[in-house]
A and B are shown apart, each in its own frame.
Chain A
């Protein structure tokens, strides 16, 4: 096993790993802190296990992930805030 840190919007379907950190995204403007808070409240926290389970119709946006025992849909703007330690098979 090897791993690399990537933002969630870069991940392909089926890729999984652990969340490394949440980072800022300027496109949310002054609301960015609130978006971070909501992500944290939903369980997007460092160490949480996450898997990409699909993308929306027309392109890659939004992205659906499994997080623990729940599934969530995120737009790429939110996904960009989630840095993932991607598990890769050696």
Chain B
């Protein structure tokens, strides 16, 4: 048995049927489970074994309503089962996942898949919810009528896939065939579905009333929009208010450790590397982990709850004026966490022009990598004081920066829409899935992933850049009669001073110019770079103050605001640019994005610097 190659299985089913949760349960792959139609746009695969030790390769296909694909992710699902997806083995067995509370929609897909004559097994998922609603399904009869095995699962329970695991050993590898899509009339298929349901559904159950009551508020044109604003606002307040004690703790720990190292070692290059490069550089970024996790916790919980498609519904009209639709809301919201998954999630948008506009404005959403930059500046220049008793001025400032990004994206989308001329209308047709409580386990898995990604970045790219930067900033050594700090005479100092004339009009000094260079890789790197640059700029051996207090003392308000304005726009993130290239299949579009964002960044910083200088003088 062990010499046989693993059987390849593909999970296929409607969006929101709990397919991804089932995938997690089977493979233990730690990945996101969400309720929004179309979160599974990445290829996700994993391996698992049954109780007999037989191995399986499982592929999680994007959610699809039909093999008549209408968006990029549905095309992937269709091609995978038909055997036409490049570089992908046609699955030996299709595991067709149905939401047991919504058999009508799922069974049609089963019939469509049956017509391509490949082995399949039908899984009735969320059978627990179906039972709660009083839905009774005659499973034996259903298997008879469909002519295939039918099992039930509860993807969110520990042993919820036992029945599926027991059924799998009965299947064996099937030869690969390239298939064409069979033409079938939808009416015929549904007639068959109705016939089946008539014999199988012994009790249709009732749609829970509380779901409708929630929708009465959430989808109300006025109350719903107020609620949406309240949700967004509390999210951003929480990022600042809840994270503060944790961040203070981390800062204190790093300062303490850095101080210990500095005290324990004689002055040397190694001590400088550890204290100025590692503790000052890397430490200044790690502080922002709590804020990033709080932001992700909100987004993951919202995705899981079923709320987001309602927000998309409410905002559809508003976004249409920008050449977008409600569908663009979810990718754009994800972009607040990180533009990379946001840009990939645009695959669920059927209209190619809308998809391009969404990709072009997604980097304007304030992503979590900007948080360290904003938080540093806000912490240093905005007093921590209460406004109207309940709000915190720092939180309000952060909220204003998020709004700046949103309004800029509105303006850019509007221009792009105008530039594109008239386009054909595309339907919205958005499913509004049932609500459920966000599953703590799913959210925790998501947060764990984010934490790993963040720490891995710190441990690899940020650490490496900081060591290089420390080296460039420390050598060559200053001349004997130096009047400036040593870094001024170093390679990095020369580079910074060479760049200064270009950035002087927007108020950036040579230290900022140095930080901008490694900051091209990722935005938060600029913070660690500033940490290292200023640690090396400080005179004497006195224990270095936190970065915030240093820049507070050395930068004027106009420079601080110009720096913030620069970061609202600057596309200082290689991963984003690479993702845009991959998704649009065009270097031209990716470089167009970079150019227009750098242009806006310079312009915004210039205007901010001039206005702030004029006000403060």
Contact = CB atoms under 8 A, between A and B. Distances in A.
A39 B212 CA distance: 23
A72 B425 CA distance: 18
B220 interface: yes
A42 B221 contact: no
Nearest to B211: A71
Contact of A41 (B186, B309, B318, B428): B186
A78 B428 contact: yes
A13 B313 CA distance: 15
A28 B70 CA distance: 14
A68 B431 CA distance: 12
B113 to A, nearest CB: 13
Interface residues of A, number: 35
B317 interface: yes
A69 B312 contact: no
Interface string A41-79: 111010000000111111101101010111111110110
B316 A62 contact: yes
Given A37-B68, A74-B428, A69 B104 contact: yes
A72 B431 contact: yes
Interface string A21-44: 000000111010011011111110
A2 B52 CA distance: 62
Contact of A61 (B212, B317, B426): B317
A64 B102 CA distance: 18
A38 B70 contact: yes
A39 to B, nearest CB: 7
B215 interface: yes
B102 A41 contact: no
B505 to A, nearest CB: 42
Contacts of A37: 68, 186
B119 interface: no
Residue among B102, B326, B429 with the highest chain A CB neighbour number at 10 A: B429
Given A28-B427, A38-B429, A71 B317 contact: no
Contacts of A27: 425
A56 B316 CA distance: 7
A49 B595 CA distance: 52
Interface string B294-320: 000000000000000100111111100
Contacts of A41: 65-66, 68, 108, 186
Contact of B427 (A69, A70, A75): A75
Interface in B65-119: 65-66, 68, 70, 101-102, 104-105, 108
Contacts of B430: 62, 72-73
A61 B313 CA distance: 9
A41 B186 CA distance: 6
A58 B220 CA distance: 11
B102 A70 contact: yes
Contacts of A66: 207
A56 B314 contact: yes
A53 B104 contact: no
A34 B224 CA distance: 32
Contact of B425 (A28, A40, A42, A71): A28
List 3 tightest A-B contacts by C-beta distance, closest first: A71-B432, A40-B186, A73-B313
26 contacts: A29-B424, A38-B70, A39-B427, A41-B68, A41-B108, A42-B431, A54-B219, A56-B313, A56-B314, A56-B316, A57-B224, A57-B317, A61-B316, A62-B313, A62-B428, A62-B430, A68-B102, A69-B101, A69-B104, A70-B104, A70-B433, A71-B215, A72-B432, A73-B312, A73-B316, A74-B427
